[in-house]
Amino acid sequence: MSEHEDGKERLSVKRLNRILSILLSEMKDLTDEGRDLPIRWNIMHMYSSSQLAKLLAMHRGINPELAAIAAALHDIGAVVTKKHAGHAEAAPPYIYDFLERFNRASKSKLLQVNQEEAEAIVQAVVQHSEKESDSKDPFIELLRDVDSLDAYLHGVKIEGGRLERSKRVMKELGIAFPQGASIEQ
């Protein structure tokens, strides 16, 4: 999870940083034409979700790099199809394709995303929009929580499962949910 060098410590996120870099290079020149949400939203949400995922994963004892990779890829279905409706369910082929290209470009097997990790990412992404239900899989729950809280932190009006998840995560982290916060969708 972390690397030690000369008495210093750093979080091991080489794969994540490379994935974020590749995603940005693929997304930055996309247009907003025909999109439900502007591409700049997807880029901002990708970066902030991956950061939140690392923090929440460390807090919950989950692999922070893997959680952040899932968060970075969780809306790839919306990026590719340009539509928010059904984006989670549409994501698997795009995730597998992206990870296959990433693995081919990786010079070291140690930097590749293995099949078990890819499956965990895909399962979490496919189920991340189901904010009203609870999963026994902590990785799926983490991605649902991250997506909810990140939307709130970006000023998106939230309600229902997103609101409840945001409140629960903030309480878990010892942060009071602001009184009178705008909470409509």
Residue 155, by phi and psi: left (phi above 0), alpha (psi -120 to 50) or beta?
left
Task: Specify the amino acid at residue 46.
Answer: M
Q: Which SS3 state, helix, strand or coil, does residue 183 take?
A: coil
The answer, as to whether pTM is greater than 0.75, is yes
Q: Can you tell me which residue has the tokens 């940005």? A: 24
* Count of CB atoms situated within 10 Å of the CB of 160: 12
What domains appear along the chain, each with residue ranges and CATH number?
Answer: 2-130 (1.10.3210)
DSSP-derived secondary structure for 47-109: HHHHHHHHHHHHHHTS-HHHHHHHHHHTTHHHHHHS-STTHHHH-HHHHHHHHHHHHHH-SSG
Task: Specify the amino acid at residue 135.
Answer: S
* pLDDT tens track for 20-73: 999 999 999 999 999 999 999 999 999 999 999 999 999 999 999 999 999 999
- Ranking 23-32, 103-112, 146-155, 167-176 by mean pLDDT, the lowest is 103-112
CB 54 within 8 A of CB 64: yes
* pLDDT tens track for 83-133: 999 999 999 999 999 999 999 998 787 789 999 999 999 999 999 999 999
Tell me the CA distances in angstroms from 156 to 66, 109, 138, 149, 170, one per residue in order. 26, 39, 25, 10, 16
- Contacts of 98 by beta carbon, 8 Å cutoff, 6+ apart: 22, 23, 73, 76
User: How far apart are the C-alpha atoms of 45 and 157, rounded to whole Å?
Assistant: 15
